[in-house]
Amino acid sequence: MKTIVILISGRGSNMRAIVEANLPVHIAAVISNQAEAGGLSYAQSKGIATAVIDHRGYASRGTFDAALMQTIDAFNPDLVVLAGFMRIFTEGFVNHYQGRLLNIHPSLLPAFPGLATHEQALKAGVKIHGCTVHFVTAQVDHGPIVAQAAVPVKADDTPASLAARVLAQEHQIYPQAIRWFAEDRLTLTPDGHVNVKDWETLNES
């Protein structure tokens, strides 16, 4: 059974979805850069170890990343899962976890990287929006795509209503992507793509 560590900065709704999916993984810890993150109390209620590494106590991104890396590595994870962790990592951090650092982004990447994705989508007038699970690279909101889910954009949508429908899809595809990793179904190709073993069978089930 593979071991994962989840990083959060807030309420941790994706972290909750992962915990409640009863995946074939050991969730060793939930770590936050915010002591007041609501998701920490939820994790503790489920008997999951928690830790706080407050970025405000470090002089640079590099020193924070080094401290965070040391804390993560103490749990010896096979996979590090970013679930609303609102920090940009240094290249050294990303390289340390290459091929085992997952993120979920609330858009259909490569469209609308960065923040305010739902506002960006509405401003652009797109008819389809969604979310993406991807392996993290040094380029922010890029990296090999594992899974995506789409939702229609309605004429009367607001950023909040669109975000709510996208979030419901995030809660579906993130646990699924982690399950694929846990079952050794994911392969990174030399050209930077992700192959999912038995994709056709998975889609039929």
**Which of 26, 55, 96, 105 does the annotation list as catalytic?**
105
- Annotation marks residue 105 as catalytic: yes
Rounded to a whole number of angstroms, the distance between the first and last alpha carbons of the chain is 22
Helix (H) or strand (E) holding 120: helix 117-124
CB-count burial class (<10 Å; 0-12, 13-18, 19+) for 56? exposed
**Which long-range contacts does 163-166 make (Cβ < 8 Å, 24+ apart)?**
163/106, 163/118, 166/106, 166/118, 166/129, 166/130, 166/131
Residues recognised as catalytic: 105
